[in-house]
C-alpha cells in the first residue's frame, strides 16, 4: 500500500514539472528609472532662505510651481505661478529635478537623494537667466510633504 502511495506521489510530482512554465523576467533595458527607486511626491512645500515654494503634480503629468515670500502664508495669493514643469531624472540613484520656464528664466527644483554630505539640504532651488547664468541658488527644506 505504501509503495502505491509513494509511486502516485512521485508520478504526480513528475507531471507537475512537465506542466510548469518559466515566467520571463520583465525587460529593463539595462537601467532602472529613478521613479522606481524614489517616489516623487504629488505635492511638496519647500522653504528656502527667501521663498516658500509649492510644487504640485497636475492631472496631465506636468508640474505646477507656486512661490511666495518666505514669511508669507501659503494661503495668500502666490507671487509667481508657473505651469507645465517637467520632471527630469538625474542619473539612476533617485536624484531628479523639476524644470519650469518663465519669461526666459529657468527655474529648477533639485531633489538631492544622493549627496557627498549628510548635511546637504533635501532640495535646491536654482534659477538661471535667459543667458543661462545662475542668478539664484538656495537650499530648501520640506515644510509639508
DSSP per position, 24-70: PPPP-TT---HHHHSPPPSEEEEE-SSEEEEEEE-TTS-EEEEEEET
Q: Higher confidence at residue 103 or residue 4?
A: 103
* Tens of pLDDT, residues 48-59: 999 999 999 999
Alpha helices per DSSP H over the chain:
2-19, 34-37
CA torsion, ordered 59, 62, 67, 70, to nearest 10 deg? 90
- φ and ψ at 110, to 5 degrees? -90, 135
Q: Report yes or no: 115 and 94 within 8 Å, Cβ to Cβ.
A: no
Measured in residues, the chain has a length of 145
Among 60, 67, 131, 55, which residue's Cα sits nearest to residue 96?
A: 55
Dist. CA 108–CA 49, nearest whole Å: 16
Confidence check: pLDDT of 29 > 70: no
Confidence check: pLDDT of 33 > 50: no
Mean pLDDT of 49-70: 95
What pLDDT is stored for residue 110 in this prediction?
Answer: 92
Amino acid at each position: 500500500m505504501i509503495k502505491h502511495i509513494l509511486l502516485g506521489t512521485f508520478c504526480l510530482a513528475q507531471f507537475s514539472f512537465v506542466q510548469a512554465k518559466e515566467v520571463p523576467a520583465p525587460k529593463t533595458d539595462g537601467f532602472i528609472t529613478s521613479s522606481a527607486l524614489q517616489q516623487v511626491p504629488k505635492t511638496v512645500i519647500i522653504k528656502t532662505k527667501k521663498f516658500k515654494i509649492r510644487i504640485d503634480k497636475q492631472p496631465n503629468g506636468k508640474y505646477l510651481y507656486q512661490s511666495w515670500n518666505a514669511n508669507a502664508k501659503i494661503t495668500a495669493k502666490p507671487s509667481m505661478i508657473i505651469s507645465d514643469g517637467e520632471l527630469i531624472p538625474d542619473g539612476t540613484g533617485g536624484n531628479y529635478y523639476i524644470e519650469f520656464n518663465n519669461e526666459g528664466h529657468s527655474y529648477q527644483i533639485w531633489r538631492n537623494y544622493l549627496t557627498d554630505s549628510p548635511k546637504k539640504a533635501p532640495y535646491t532651488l536654482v534659477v538661471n537667466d535667459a543667458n543661462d547664468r545662475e542668478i539664484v541658488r538656495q537650499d530648501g527644506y520640506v515644510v509639508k510633504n
